[in-house]
Amino acid sequence: MNANYFRTLGSVESSFKLLRIVMLSIIVAVLLFAAVIAYWAFNSVEASRQRVYVMDNGKSIMLALAQDHNINRPAEAKDHVRSFLKLLFELEPDEKQIDASIEQATYLGNKASVVRLYTDLKEKGYYNQLIQGDVHQKVEIELSGIQVQMDQSPYYFRAKGRQVLIRSTNVTVRNLDVEGYLIDVARTDNNPHGFMVERFKVLDNRDIETIDRAPDSDKLNL
């Protein structure tokens, strides 16, 4: 009977050893699985951060792979400058639209630069002339027309393009030559590129030409 008793104890002990081995195997497998998932998730997040989307002339989205941060910042800087200029100068004869565009511009440029320009134009009656004259103001500027010096912060930029004022009787084309500086700031929903324009200055905004429109013409291709 003692022999049977010891055989039973040995069998129970073997079962416990087998159970421990199985449990340890399961725990190791779960930890390995969790490690693989964590590694995959980390790589996915890092890969998503390596993409920068830049609007290409407002028509399509250009995907810039940010394998090197220094390579993509110039592209973001140019798009930031163009977005800033469109908010400042691409206006409709609507007071609410003008105020909303200027307010949005303050997210991309410091208020000193934006408010100074806005106040100066407003005091000259510029915005009232747009509204009363039913003038639609557009900005034509290519990324190739924007130069940014990224070797030292603040980053100096200069941008050249055209400003088009569309009236019922004619279209006036103006030269648009501006300069300023960019500083790095935190990215936000209102400032996705993480730049801020400062010391903004209009260098040249002279009329280039005025094109008469036919009285019954609704559109003019420029």
Tens digits of per-residue pLDDT, 13-48? Answer: 676 677 778 788 888 888 888 888 888 877 766 655
Q: How far is CA 81 from the centre of its chain?
A: 10
Query: What is the Rg, in whole angstroms, of the alpha carbon atoms belonging to the chain?
Result: 31
Which pLDDT score is estimated for 60? 44
Is the pLDDT at 222 greater than 60? The verdict is no
Task: State percent of the chain over pLDDT 70.
Answer: 77
**Over the stretch 195-206, which tens digit does the pLDDT of each residue have?**
999 999 999 999
Which pLDDT score is estimated for 4? 55
Which pLDDT score is estimated for 51? 55
Q: List the structure tokens of 70.
A: 């220094």
Fold of 73-212: Nuclear Transport Factor 2; Chain: A, (3.10.450)
- Which one is predicted more confidently, 31 or 12? 31
Which pLDDT score is estimated for 33? 84
Is the pLDDT at 3 greater than 90? The verdict is no
**Over the stretch 91-148, which tens digit does the pLDDT of each residue have?**
999 999 999 999 999 999 998 889 889 999 999 999 999 999 999 999 999 888 999 9
Angle among Cα 154, 175, 108 to the nearest 5 degrees reads 35
Which pLDDT score is estimated for 202? 94
**Over the stretch 48-102, which tens digit does the pLDDT of each residue have?**
555 555 554 544 444 444 445 556 889 999 999 999 999 999 999 999 999 999 9
CA–CA gap between residue 204 and residue 178 (Å, rounded): 7
CA–CA gap between residue 142 and residue 153 (Å, rounded): 23
Which pLDDT score is estimated for 35? 85
Which pLDDT score is estimated for 13? 66
Tracing tokens 């279209």 back to the chain, one arrives at 171
Burial class (CB in 10 A: 0-12, 13-18, 19+), 198: middle
Q: What are phi and psi of 59, to 5 degrees?
A: -115, -35
Cβ neighbours of 168 (radius 10 Å):
12
Each domain of the chain, given as residue ranges in start order, spans 73-212
Which pLDDT score is estimated for 143? 87
The answer to whether residues 172 and 96 touch, using CB atoms and an 8 Å cutoff, is: no
